[in-house]
Structure formats: structure tokens, C-alpha cells
Amino acid sequence: MVADGMAVFSRDVTKVFGRGDTQVHALRGIDLEIRLGELTMLVGPSGSGKTTLLSVITGLLDATSGELVVLGERPAALSPEELILFRRENLGFVFQQYNLIPALTAAENVAVPLLAGGVKRQQAFARGKELLATLGMAHRAHALPSELSGGEQQRVALARALIHEPKLIVCDEPTSALDGRTGHAVMELLSATAVRPDRAVIIVTHDARIFDFADHIAHMDDGRIVSLEENRKNGALMNGLAAASATLSLAEPDARSYTTTGD
């Protein structure tokens, strides 16, 4: 039974790539609970299974065995179409290399999840600009990714992850391509805007400079979570709650009430 307020619940989750002699055990029995309103970091050396775990949690990869519940759904029980819809509605992604579409402006990139959900173009772009403004990027809304600095691109990526009001945001090394100062600024923004009582954030990182932003840090090695520590010094949760209230007041009252094109 998964408790209320649980974003991610996993018991003995494994992931094996390949067969026979070429088998690789990427995850070896992951037990993890992530609650809504928390920012959890997955840390560990390269090859420890962080990214694989993130992919399994987001339904981009299937678990080989074990029990996994994400936002009350069991990804293994969903059809491919249901899984895509689940991701589209409930998950926000921030990638290491930003993965912004070079042909689209910052505001257009931010609007992509809404467009994918069938929101009309003008509405989606307006919402994108609005969100960029709350992230201090209003003046760069019409810039192409190639015209933005790394920090600016990551802020655009963050806005893209937030625009459709997902319940779970996953970030893959969000600061690794940034210098320390910019990375810290991005994390401040992320913890202030992304963390809310009804949303969880998972960050995969190597970057020890940002550990202070975490509520929990799961240390991984060789496909296992070797330790899970609570970061009691972190004020990010409270900061996040305060900022989330401010963001909500700026955002649409109901982000899912957009007119759709039926796409």
C-alpha cells in the first residue's frame, strides 16, 4: 500500500540490460520513497545507476523487476500510449544539455509541452512568456537558444519543465554544464519555483556544490542506494513553499483549463 503524498515508491526495483554473458545489472534492488514537496538528489559515481533509475522512474525505461509506483500509477501497468500521456501530464524534464530546440525562441521552447498537450499556439506562447518573466527572462523571450548563455538556457529549460504544472520534475545534471555561480543561481531558482507541496523534484547530480538544496540525498553505488540522508540544514523546502505561492499567484488559476486543439 502506497501512502498518500508519496511521489515515488519503489521496492526491490532492478534493471538488467543485455542477456547471458553480456548482462549488465544497472539497478540491483532499489528501495526508495520520495514524498511530494521534497527535493531529492540522486548522487554517486558514474555508472552507479543514477540515470538508469531516473529513466525507470520516468517510464523512459521499463524496470526488469520490483514494484514501482509513481504519482499513484504503476508505469509497468500502463500501455505505451498511457505512459506517454502520463509523462506529458505529470512529468517535467530538465536535461544536462538543456535540449532546447535550436529553431525555436526561448518562449516557444517553453511552450512545447503545452503544444504537445494540444494547447493552442498563441495561448501556449503567451503562457511561455509569462513564465519566463517570472524567472527573470522576459527580455530574452524572443532569443534563440544559440543567443543565450548556459545559465539562461537552463532557466528556459526549467520554465519548459514547469509550464504544464507537472507533479514530478526530474533534472539530469542541471548544473554540470554551468560554472559554480551560475549553477547556484539556477538551483536557487529551481528550488524556489519547482518545489511545492504538491510536487516532488528529483535531481541526478555529481555536483557537490548544490547538495545543500536537497531535502534528501540518496547515495548510489553499483546499482544500489547505499545511503539515504536527510538534509536538515536545508531551508529550500520552506523557501520553495513561499516562492511556490508567489508563482501560483502569477500563473493561470488552472493550468489544465487551456483550450486544446484536439492534437
In the complex, the residues that contact other proteins under the rule CB under 8 A are: 51, 54-55, 58, 60-61, 81, 84-85, 87-89, 91, 93, 95-97, 99, 101-104, 108, 112-113, 115-117, 121, 160, 172-173, 204, 263
Cβ 90 to other proteins shortest distance, Å: 9
176/239 with CB nearer other proteins: 176
Give the residue with the Cβ less far from other proteins, 36 or 119. Answer: 119
Cα separation of 171 and 193, whole Å? 14
Query: Cα dist. 163→3, 6, 110 in Å?
Result: 27, 22, 7
With H, G, I as helix, E, B as strand and everything else as coil, classify residue 120: coil
- Minimum distance, C-beta of residue 56 to other proteins, in the bound complex (Å): 9
Q: List the grid coordinates of 58.
A: 520516468
Question: 220 exposed, middle or buried (CB, 10 Å; 0-12, 13-18, 19+)?
Answer: buried
CA quadruple 222, 227, 228, 229: dihedral, nearest 10 = -140
* Minimum separation from the CB atom of position 242 to other proteins (A): 28
**Distance (Å, rounded) from C-alpha 113 to C-alpha 72?**
22
**Percentages helix, strand, coil for the chain, rounded to the nearest 5?**
40, 25, 35
Q: What is the end-to-end Cα distance of the chain in Å, rounded?
A: 36
Nearer to other proteins, 61 or 236 (CB): 61
SS3 assignment, position 203: strand
Q: How far is the CB of 169 from other proteins (least distance, A)?
A: 12
Q: Shortest Cβ distance from residue 72 to other proteins (Å)?
A: 18
- If the CB atoms of residues 14 and 96 are measured against other proteins, the closer one turns out to be 96
Residue whose C-alpha is closest to residue 35's, from 73, 63, 6? 6
Q: Which is nearer to other proteins, 99 or 239 (CB)?
A: 99
Closest distance of CB 60 from other proteins, Å: 4
User: Smaller CB distance to other proteins: residue 4 or 81?
Assistant: 81
